[in-house]
Chain A
Amino acid sequence: MQDTRKPTLLPKMGVNWIGLGTIVRREVSRMMRVPIQAFIAPWISALLFIFIFGFVVGGRIATIGGVRYLEFVLPGILMMNVVNAAFLQSSSAIYFSRFIKFIEEILVSPLSYWEMIAGSLSVVVLRASITGVGILIMGLFFHAVQIQSFPLFLFWVVSVSAVFGLLGIIVGLWSKSFEQLNMPVVFFLTPLSMVGGVFNTVEMLPDWLRWTAWANPFFYFINGIRGAMIGVDETPPGLGVGLTLLSLAVLSITVWRMYAKGYGLRE
């Protein structure tokens, strides 16, 4: 027999801003429990890079691309740390919440998938930005900071951290062990960022090796932020921005589909 009883009438939910803000509050609280891991470690690492490659080695190099070597490497060092901060924030947050199962708190709540993703990404951008600001402050002590275009600088920090935040979510959902969680950092992030033009221009590479730079996505991110900071950009105008926006769109849709299908989230 057909059940003709009417459903409970509730106003349709708009954006759950409080819920979204709560995801941010919770993740900030988790991040602030490990300040050494979240901020001090990347700052020390950046300081060592600045000192050794920029100051000690760079002291023996006259100029590169028309600027001091330290000014040339600083944007790349900053971007490497932004990428690492973004990826580690989202991958560890998702994996930890799956591992301990408190992801279920979010799953039983009236939050849309976009709200869940936006909440996570907000903290990713926050952590990456704080990391970046710390490195800029260090750069100031070495008189190595220039910002030619602040809007472009902001675009690169926010968009690249969002790209790697989304990648981190994918890895966090896919991983079934801490070993798997660390694999992309060891085999992908660290090697590609190191050879992505942080310390050299493409011109400095032998001809037969130059394709590796053009094929490396990190090259475009590093060049982009270098262009925004010191005006030296080896990529055609708009190519890096286009690739970054395309990556953002593809990764956003991928992550949304993973959430909607419950991949790694639901039993």
Chain B
Amino acid sequence: MPTPALKISNLRKVYRRGNVAVDDLSLTVEEGDFFGFLGPNGAGKSTTIHCITGIAEPTSGSIEIFGLDAVKNYREARRLVGLCTQEFNVDPFATGRQIVDWMGGYFGMGRAERKARIDYLMERFELGPHEKKSFRELSGGLKRRVILARALVNDPKLLILDEPTAGVDVELRRVLWRYLQEINGDGRTILLTSHYLEEVERLCRDVAIVNNGKIVRQGTKDEISGGPGGLENAYLAATGAEPDHVAGQ
């Protein structure tokens, strides 16, 4: 049996002011899976991702990435992960190419390896004509592409996407979907959070729904969306919203 790509056990995260963001959350993502991680705003999705990637410190519990402890063996574990953040957390005065190049450098990639990889990503995400513009000069969609290219520069075995298509146009969304399906087909594991349920239905094989820091429903996409109303109703029911009321009926 292969080692899971991600195994979270009893994760708890309490912020300094006492706000419990994640409460006893356990989750396993098998290697090669395309995993949808859903929940309303403030449910604990981003905090969980931050704990996995080292942006936040877990209060308790454990996180393993391909069997490596994400806290104790953080350097080895992080080599396997790519993170596409929800926010544009970049130096706004740097160019798109610099941003991606620096990230490759942090991951220890040599100059030639970085150049080849960045050339590929710039072409793939149609960033070539814009690669020398500073990040703040780019449109929202182009900024999102740079963030994606940055997440992919180290060719991660586990790719974590925190609302990667928020605010992007339909064309880019489809370009991105095709690319994600392609790398998932090549064996890459993907953890996706999104508010677009259509996106999750189209891409993911397994789904977990989180609310108030806890997993409230988990299973294959078919299991969860199999009932009446599909994934949307299952999501609304799991998060405590009333589908009819939400629909205004």
Contacts and interface: CB of A to CB of B under 8 A. Distances in A.
User: A and B bound?
Assistant: yes
Interface of A: 3, 5-8, 10, 12-13, 16-19, 21-23, 25-26, 29-30, 33, 97, 100-102, 104-112, 262, 266-267
B242 interface: no
Contacts of B115: none
Interface residues of B, number: 43
A236 B1 CA distance: 69
A104 B83 CA distance: 10
A266 B54 contact: yes
A261 to B, nearest CB: 8
Given A5-B3, A7-B68, A13 B76 contact: yes
Interface stretch (B85-93, B176-184, B217-225): B85-93
B172 interface: no
Interface string B107-128: 1111000000000000000000
Interface of B: 1-4, 7, 15, 47, 50, 53-57, 64, 66-68, 74-76, 78-81, 83, 85, 87, 89-94, 98, 102-103, 105-110, 150
29 contacts: A5-B4, A5-B67, A8-B66, A8-B68, A10-B80, A12-B76, A13-B76, A13-B79, A19-B105, A22-B102, A22-B105, A29-B94, A30-B91, A33-B93, A100-B90, A104-B85, A105-B90, A105-B102, A105-B150, A107-B53, A107-B54, A107-B55, A108-B53, A109-B78, A109-B103, A110-B76, A110-B108, A112-B75, A266-B55
A22 B105 CA distance: 5
Contacts of B80: 8, 10
A10 B55 contact: no
A7 B50 contact: no
A267 B55 contact: yes
Q: Shortest 5 CB-CB distances between A and B: which pairs?
A: A7-B67, A22-B105, A109-B106, A8-B66, A101-B89
Contact of A111 (B3, B75, B85, B92): B75
Contacts of A100: 89-92
A267 B47 CA distance: 9
B105 A6 contact: no
B91 A102 contact: yes
A12 B76 CA distance: 7
Contact of A104 (B89, B92, B108): B89
B56 A10 contact: no
Contacts of B98: 26, 29
B74 to A, nearest CB: 8
A25 B76 contact: no
B55 A102 contact: no
A112 B54 CA distance: 12
A94 to B, nearest CB: 13
Contacts of A29: 94, 98
B79 A110 contact: yes
A110 B91 contact: no
Task: With a 10 A CB-CB cut-off, give which of A21, A106, A267 has the most chain B CB atoms.
Answer: A267
Contacts of B64: 7
B66 A7 contact: yes
A100 B99 CA distance: 14
Nearest to B87: A101
A12 B108 CA distance: 13
Contacts of A104: 55, 85, 89
A104 B67 CA distance: 23
Nearest to B56: A267
Contacts of B83: 108
A101 B236 CA distance: 33
A15 to B, nearest CB: 10
Nearest to B67: A7
A111 to B, nearest CB: 6
A97 B80 CA distance: 24
Given A18-B110, A101-B89, A108 B78 contact: yes
A119 B151 CA distance: 22
A33 B85 CA distance: 26
Nearest to B90: A102
Contacts of A111: 75, 106
Given A19-B107, A267-B15, 19 more contacts: A5-B2, A10-B79, A16-B75, A18-B108, A21-B105, A101-B87, A104-B85, A104-B89, A105-B89, A106-B106, A108-B55, A108-B78, A109-B103, A109-B107, A110-B74, A110-B108, A262-B57, A267-B47, A267-B57
